[in-house]
């Protein structure tokens, strides 16, 4: 059995203390949860008058509530999808440029990355939604309108530099022999980056990339503090103002966000597993071809003898 690397293995007394501490923590958390549920029940927060519009199809407000939620989900996914695509594309271009340019040529891009990474996302969303309109940049003629594209640009401005750093780290983590071998075969630096290095970097950094995509999806909710856009959180605020049930409404909204992010995470795991299988098949095929090429002449020579 392998020895622990990050910590020393506990002895019998240490394991006993850990079990006792875990049991005490579980009891305390269970007691706290009981008190919270008890207080909510005493306040009538589990009544169907508050939950009915959200979970009872027979409630007169049910259809209207879920119509608003569906619109919110659709607008959230549209803004997140466009921001994701733009962030990945622009982030890849920034990463390639920083890796390809000389030390002096990288200075403006490095400054851009540091500035955008240092700003809160809500500030960039505010600039995209409010400031661009104030300085005369009219995006209202585009599909989706001014607020939609302001939100997308704000999210893209922040996340593209994060993706750029993730991709750059992925390329830097590859063995130097990958680049040198590709150049030795006659590939240009651009072809080496596009054909050899970037695909491997994306595969290596896929978990980090997917984690950032989840962040993009969640950050669409920031627009609700800047302007009127019917994304999921804004629709939840509208519902609870009309029904006066914030706990129930935002519980459902939170569960929807969790479901969307969980689905995105599972999709990432599926893509990663598929890529891993494809990589194993490719390596096995290459190994078989090399073995056949190496043993073929010997078999021919043996047959001739």
Q: What is the pLDDT of residue 201?
A: 85
* CA–CA distances in Å: residue 246 to residues 54, 154, 195, 234: 12, 28, 52, 12
Q: What is the pLDDT of residue 213?
A: 87
pLDDT: is 34 or 137 the higher one? 34
Contacts of 111 (CB under 8 A, 6+ apart): none
Residue 300, pLDDT above cutoff 50: no
Residue 304, pLDDT above cutoff 80: no
Structure tokens at 248: 């129930």
Residue 71, pLDDT above cutoff 90: yes
Q: What is the pLDDT of residues 106-116, one digit of tens each?
A: 888 889 889 99
What is the C-alpha separation between 218 and 159, in angstroms, rounded? 12
In this prediction, residue 2 has a pLDDT band, given cuts at 50, 70 and 90, of very low
On whether the CB atoms of residues 125 and 226 are closer than 8 A, the answer is yes
What mean pLDDT is reported for the chain? 85
Print burial letters for 286-298: b (CB count within 10 Å at least 16), e (below 16). eeeeeeeeeeeee
In this prediction, residue 1 has a pLDDT band, given cuts at 50, 70 and 90, of very low
Angle between helix axes 48-55 and 232-243 (nearest 10 degrees) is 140
Q: What is the pLDDT of residue 238?
A: 93
- Total residue count of the chain as it appears in this document: 305
Helix (H, G, I), strand (E, B) or coil at 223: helix
Structure tokens at 49: 């008058």
φ, ψ dihedrals at 298, nearest 5°: -65, -40
Please give the domain boundaries of the chain with CATH numbers for all domains. 62-278 (1.10.3720.10)
Q: What is the pLDDT of residue 5?
A: 47
| DSSP alpha helix (H) spans, the chain | 12-42, 48-55, 62-100, 107-117, 121-126, 132-134, 145-172, 176-184, 189-191, 198-204, 206-219, 232-243, 246-304
What is the C-alpha separation between 204 and 213, in angstroms, rounded? 16
What is the Cβ-side half-sphere exposure of residue 100, based on CA atoms within 13 angstroms?
15
**Lowest-pLDDT choice from 93-97, 206-210, 298-302:** 298-302
Longest dimension (CA), the chain: 95
């Amino acid at each position: 059995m392998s020895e622990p690397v990050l910590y020393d293995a506990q002895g019998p007394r240490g394991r006993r203390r850990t079990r006792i501490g875990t049991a005490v923590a579980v009891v305390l958390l269970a007691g706290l949860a009981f008190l919270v549920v008890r207080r909510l029940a005493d306040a009538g927060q589990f009544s169907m008058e508050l939950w009915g519009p959200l979970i009872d199809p027979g409630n007169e407000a049910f259809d209207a509530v879920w119509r608003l939620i569906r619109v919110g989900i659709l607008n959230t996914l549209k803004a997140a999808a466009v921001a994701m695509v733009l962030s990945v594309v622009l982030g890849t271009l920034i990463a390639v440029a920083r890796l390809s340019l000389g030390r002096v040529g990288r200075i403006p891009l490095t400054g851009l990355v540091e500035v955008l990474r240092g700003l809160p996302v809500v500030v960039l969303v505010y600039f995209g939604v409010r400031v661009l309109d104030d300085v005369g940049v009219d995006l209202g003629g585009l599909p989706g309108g001014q607020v939609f594209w302001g939100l997308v640009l704000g999210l893209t401005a922040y996340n593209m530099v994060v993706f750029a750093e993730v991709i750059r780290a992925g390329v830097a983590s590859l063995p130097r022999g990958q680049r040198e071998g590709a150049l030795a075969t006659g590939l240009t630096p651009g072809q080496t980056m596009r054909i050899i290095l970037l695909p491997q970097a994306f595969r290596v950094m896929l978990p980090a990339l997917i984690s950032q995509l989840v962040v993009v999806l969640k950050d669409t909710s920031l627009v609700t503090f800047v302007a009127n856009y019917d994304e999921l959180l804004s629709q939840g605020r509208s519902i609870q103002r009309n029904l006066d049930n914030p706990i129930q409404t935002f519980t459902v909204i939170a569960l929807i966000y969790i479901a969307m992010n969980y689905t995105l995470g599972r999709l990432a795991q599926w893509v990663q597993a598929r890529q891993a299988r494809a990589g194993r098949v490719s390596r096995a095929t290459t190994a078989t071809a090399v073995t056949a090429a190496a043993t073929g002449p010997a078999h021919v020579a043996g047959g001739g003898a």
